[in-house]
A = this chain, B = another copy of it.
């Protein structure tokens, strides 16, 4: 192969109870998939171009681009020098939105390189390379977006850095509302306190473990109890104008849970098929009343991760 075009989907990081360790790949229930594309071809010299609706929001210096940083992380993981490569990024996901925009770029790049160079790096090595790239951007190593973007589905990152698939009910959809606000992941992380109480650490672990139990045993009541974020939301809610109103609107329409997607400012609600539309409308109205315009998408879990197109 001389040329490969790869796609990686959008994702919800910090999935409710799973701060830094749980994430879901998503796809709109109607219309085209949502994600970034990266095309890579063997070339005479390294080159990088970007296009697409959010290309204008990328860093002005191309060496700051995550695709090139992912390329370098890939080379380190592979342990070989890469040939000259022409990389073309189609930036479809809004930057700094909370929809896993960074991870989609990073993972599409890694998947394209792995295929083009027939490197055969396993998922754990690709995850690590993706996590290292993300860490350059936001300051901490976490895989809750990289894992679902690479492998699809709802993914729990285990202590060894592998991404475990969790079952998720087919009847549940996500109402994902993206406001016309931008939030830097690094700033959102700075809003978090360096330390938390022992009691909160216990409650957080209990909540996440119970959510895993609920999903694996199909216990809807327990799931509803646990679809909440005890650690990040209290500190980040204030960074997103209208957050509490949007959350209350979603819950008022019967959402099972509603919190920030990733570091925000996007907000996602979990709701069954029959309620998702009403939840989405209520979220839009609430943000409208707070003076914030938003785009709402009804999505489902994307079972497929990164793929070669």
Contact = CB atoms under 8 A, between A and B. Distances in A.
A210 B158 contact: yes
Given A160-B225, A222-B158, A213 B216 contact: yes
A47 interface: no
B205 A21 contact: yes
Contacts of A212: 209, 212-213, 216
Contacts of A201: 196, 200-201, 204-205, 231
Contacts of A209: 18, 21-22, 156, 205, 208-209, 211-212
A29 interface: no
B195 A158 contact: no
Nearest to A207: B159
Interface residues of A, number: 41
A213 B166 contact: yes
Interface string A201-231: 1111111111111001100001001100001
Contacts of A19: 202, 205
A192 interface: yes
Interface of A: 18-22, 140, 156-160, 164, 166, 192-213, 216-217, 222, 225-226, 231
